[in-house]
Structure 1
Amino acid sequence: MDRRLNYDECTAYCDFDYLPEGLEAKYNRYQGNDAPHLIPRDFLSDLFEQYDLPEHARQRLVRGIENVESNAVLFHFTKFLVGELILARQRCDEAHYTNMTPGCMNQDGELYSFLLLLACVVPSMEMLKKRSIPQVYYEQIPHQPLKLQLDKLVLHGDAKVYDFPWVMNFYTCSIFLLDRFYFIPYRFGDPFTMFRHVNTQQVVALRHAGEEFRSDGQRNGTNDVYDPPGCFVSEWIEDEDRIAANRINPMGFVERNMTPILKKEWKAALREGDLLLALHIPSGPGYTPERLKKSMSLAIEFYETYFPEMPVKGFWSASWLYDTRLSLILDNERSNIVRVQRQFYNYPTLDGDGMLRHEVFGDRQADLAADSGQFTTSLQKAAVAYMQTGARFNTLSMIVLKEEIERIGSMPYITDADIGQFRRIVDSHLREVFG
């Protein structure tokens, strides 16, 4: 290009069907990139050999890459996008990166999103190498989605990227498998503050004001279930010396009665905007408190060593596995699902049972009123029996502060009193309906 085009000129020419919000300010800070290729050819050749790609797939990928590189404006803007993608997770960038197709790419436009992700691999690895991170931590990370993507391309000619935001974590080498669990930086943004007692080290989470909860302490409207007669609104009353607010019971619900704390005795341990590590659970054996403890310890050590500028406070995650209602249908002593969720500070979200339906029954819209003979596992049968009472499951989130890692295995947040209160209050919003 004879001159650098501004953001509006670039995007008008490229004619993307989608671009994340907030890119213009980032583009205006972009210093440019004089790399002659979108994807280094030696990396591409190694990839072709490693996966023994047939000639037709090789030609299609090379043609798509050359189509991008031969278009000066699209090539320039694509290199800008690559630079943003590889830093997005470290920055906890809230922009929603997903499939992008440039209208100016008349041929092979359906390949663009995959090529964009593939172009992230080499510069992402180079950044990690500069941090002196051993290659063993990241050399296989991009290959998890890459093999499936190439198989689709070869066998079916399908170039579409499925679940772009998730696989982006792997192509940008932003997610790390440390023993049993994956970890990636996450900016905490839920409306509550956690406090730690200066002497006892006890932790309490207080919900911020203005949210509606059902009588069972779940968000009003979860699973489209409302509780007009029993709902309450969270409050936060603060003066110079004390705070009174609705406590989040670590069994995953908000208490109606307010809890007072003295500021001189309690200090904030987690606020909105603090940095956590999001924990993701790959399938397979080893979902135990012991492996959880080991993985979290390794994660803190890893980030303190290689990303010392990140002030990680602990861990966050959201899953159907954390729904404490599962403790009503599973063996509390033997079930790893229950044993693991008891190590967390669980809290309610507005997400209902769609994740459970998908993971347990294979379909978010599964018809659980159908013939019960189709359900074969003990978990399926128990979950269906529970929901046939009119009850529903929830997706809960959890927090573990790094100070509690060593106590994992001994329920660092949940007390017997919390469990007792949960059993008294669970599904209380249904009692007037079902008796």
Structure 2
Amino acid sequence: MASQWNFHQCVSHCKFDNLPEGLEAKYDSYAPDDSGVDLISQAFLSETFDRYQVPGETRQRIVEGIEEIEQDPVLLHFTKFLVKDLCSARERCDETHYTNMKPGCMQRHGALYSFLLLLACVVPSMNRLRQRSIPEEHYAAIPHTFLQPQLDKMALHGDPSVHDFPWVMNFYTCSIFLFDRFYFIPYRFGDPFTMFRHKETGEVIALRHAGEEFRSDGQRNGINDVFDQKGSFITEWHENAEFIMANRINPMGFVERDTTTIFKKEWAPALRQGDTLLALHIPSGPGYTPERLRNSMRQAIEFYGKYFPELPITGFWSASWLYDTRLSLFLDSKHSNIVLVQRQLYNYPTFEGDGMLRYELFGDRTADPDRNPGEYATSLQQAAAAYMVRGARFNTLSMIVLKEDIERIGAMPYITEADIELFLKTVDSHLHTGGH
């Protein structure tokens, strides 16, 4: 059934302050939902109110916000389109960047819209998982991770704003799953390198694509606003029918200046741009160990293979300050879980600086590294601050673990002693070649 309103008519009427790009083509193929007027089922709404003992004033505000959407046929229609797209976006590895949005056509409760949009995703998302015969135990609690604090914030402070919409969207749409210690969600790999596996030994190598500029320490030139004028280099890629010669990514998280040659008859591609991975997210708390990592990945591969067989999962991807191998310069490599986990990953550099580390360790992405290290409470804070005071900086690194290597976690499937030795010779070398 075709919609009575085209995309531009909807957008003109709703007057959103912020709408993601690329929605028009999706809208044109959208089959309108004729299941009824209700945006959010009364049963789910009543159950949520009772479960969290939502005060009467907050209940009334939410109900009035829903009614304002439902009484505007164009806004209701377009909101149902957004709900349908949001609910399936992650499993499609859709890169559409959804974030907070407010329709100008809502005169009374426009500030509620982002939250109501997410709330409207819960029931249809659960229905989608139910249709896949996924046991309820895997998803029943997912949306409640952020639902309770959101309702508490409204009740206590009258604030309906949604913090970090792209992240909490994963939970309201039941797109993210917790296995043992870590969260997982589908992700399309797009970084500029290709991984290969040796056909006989099983060794894995990642070769960076051509045309990127790196400092002498193997990090992107300009990261943290630190440039290497004298020692930087540009990555190369030379290929013919027999071999590929390119700059290897050392799994300790940097790109090597010298090129490496592999012969095609000996190596097979293991990861290419466009492949599907599972993005791994690290919740706070104890148990950040190689054993829990292996167990979590094992469960995730089994789950997605059974319930999402159409997703050809190649392995895992993640980005975190915890993967910065500079931390191993002052943490105990035999006992620090941070280092022990790093050693199980194929770490690689990104263009993200140390904002995440500053936030996680010091509570502020712009924390001053020149503050007296002795003022910090933990040994990790003190060591990290002292490292930065000397002029060095941290980076957010990403990592890959291929699914064939899950069972080797704990035995350093990618990093060799030679890799560690080269890292120690290379790290911070840009500070001595004119970096500033």
TM-score (norm. length: structure 2): 0.98
Q: Distance in 2 between matches of 1:368 and 1:201?
A: 42
Letter of the 1:16 partner, please give it: F
Pairwise CA distance, 1:389: 1.5
The reply on whether 1:186 has 2:159 as its aligned counterpart is no
Equivalent residue number for residue 350 of structure 1: 351
For residues 247-283 of structure 1, what are the alpha-carbon distances to aligned partners after superposition, in whole Å with 9 as ceiling and x for unaligned? 0000000001100011111110000000000000000
Letter of the 2:169 partner, please give it: M
Equivalent residue number for residue 21 of structure 1: 21
Equivalent residue number for residue 421 of structure 1: 422
Check the 8 A contact 2:150/2:162 in 1, yes or no. yes
Q: Distance in 1 between matches of 2:395 and 2:254?
A: 11
Q: Distance in 2 between matches of 1:13 and 1:216?
A: 53
Give the SS at the match of 1:291: helix
* 1:31-430 equivalences in 2 (<5 Å): 31-36=31-36, 37-430=38-431
Letter of the 2:231 partner, please give it: G
Pairwise CA distance, 1:368: 2.2
Q: Distance in 1 between matches of 2:103 and 2:351?
A: 35
Letter of the 2:404 partner, please give it: E
Letter of the 1:5 partner, please give it: W
Equivalent residue number for residue 11 of structure 1: 11
Letter of the 1:24 partner, please give it: E
Pairwise CA distance, 1:372: 3.2
Letter of the 1:412 partner, please give it: P
Counterparts in 2 of 1:23 and 1:149: CA distance versus 1, 3 Å: same
Letter of the 1:35 partner, please give it: S
Q: Distance in 2 between matches of 1:381 and 1:24?
A: 51
RMSD over aligned Cα atoms: 1.2
Q: Distance in 1 between matches of 2:379 and 2:146?
A: 32
Letter of the 2:74 partner, please give it: V
Pairwise CA distance, 1:367: 1.6
Pairwise CA distance, 1:432: 4.1
Letter of the 1:33 partner, please give it: D
Q: Distance in 1 between matches of 2:374 and 2:383?
A: 13
Letter of the 1:222 partner, please give it: I
Q: Distance in 1 between matches of 2:373 and 2:304?
A: 47
Q: Distance in 2 between matches of 1:30 and 1:390?
A: 54
Give the SS at the match of 1:96: coil
Check the 8 A contact 2:230/2:433 in 1, yes or no. no
Pairwise CA distance, 1:3: 6.4
Letter of the 1:262 partner, please give it: F
Gaps of 5+ in 2: none
Check the 8 A contact 2:374/2:382 in 1, yes or no. no
Check the 8 A contact 2:221/2:227 in 1, yes or no. yes
How many residue pairs get aligned? The number is: 434
Q: Distance in 2 between matches of 1:35 and 1:356?
A: 47
Q: Distance in 2 between matches of 1:3 and 1:26?
A: 13
Give the SS at the match of 2:126: helix
Letter of the 2:243 partner, please give it: R
Q: Distance in 1 between matches of 2:87 and 2:170?
A: 9
For residues 47-100 of structure 1, what are the alpha-carbon distances to aligned partners after superposition, in whole Å with 9 as ceiling and x for unaligned? 010001111011000000011001000000000000000011011111110011
Q: Distance in 1 between matches of 2:232 and 2:368?
A: 29
Letter of the 2:164 partner, please give it: D
For residues 328-355 of structure 1, what are the alpha-carbon distances to aligned partners after superposition, in whole Å with 9 as ceiling and x for unaligned? 0101101000000100000000111100
Letter of the 1:362 partner, please give it: G
Give the SS at the match of 1:248: strand
Counterparts in 2 of 1:221 and 1:81: CA distance versus 1, 3 Å: same
Check the 8 A contact 2:3/2:32 in 1, yes or no. no
Pairwise CA distance, 1:373: 3.7
Letter of the 2:147 partner, please give it: L
Equivalent residue number for residue 30 of structure 1: 30
Give the SS at the match of 1:268: strand
Greater shift in the superposed pair: 374-383 or 117-126: 374-383
For residues 276-317 of structure 1, what are the alpha-carbon distances to aligned partners after superposition, in whole Å with 9 as ceiling and x for unaligned? 000000000000000000000000000000000000000000
Q: Distance in 2 between matches of 1:126 and 1:3?
A: 24
Counterparts in 2 of 1:3 and 1:186: CA distance versus 1, 3 Å: closer
Letter of the 1:12 partner, please give it: S
Letter of the 1:213 partner, please give it: F
Superposed structure 1 runs of 4+ greater than 6 Å apart? none
Letter of the 1:190 partner, please give it: D
Pairwise CA distance, 1:170: 0.1
TM-score (norm. length: structure 1): 0.98
Q: Distance in 2 between matches of 1:372 and 1:187?
A: 40
Give the SS at the match of 2:419: helix
Greater shift in the superposed pair: 272-281 or 2-11: 2-11
Give the SS at the match of 2:120: helix
Pairwise CA distance, 1:386: 1.1
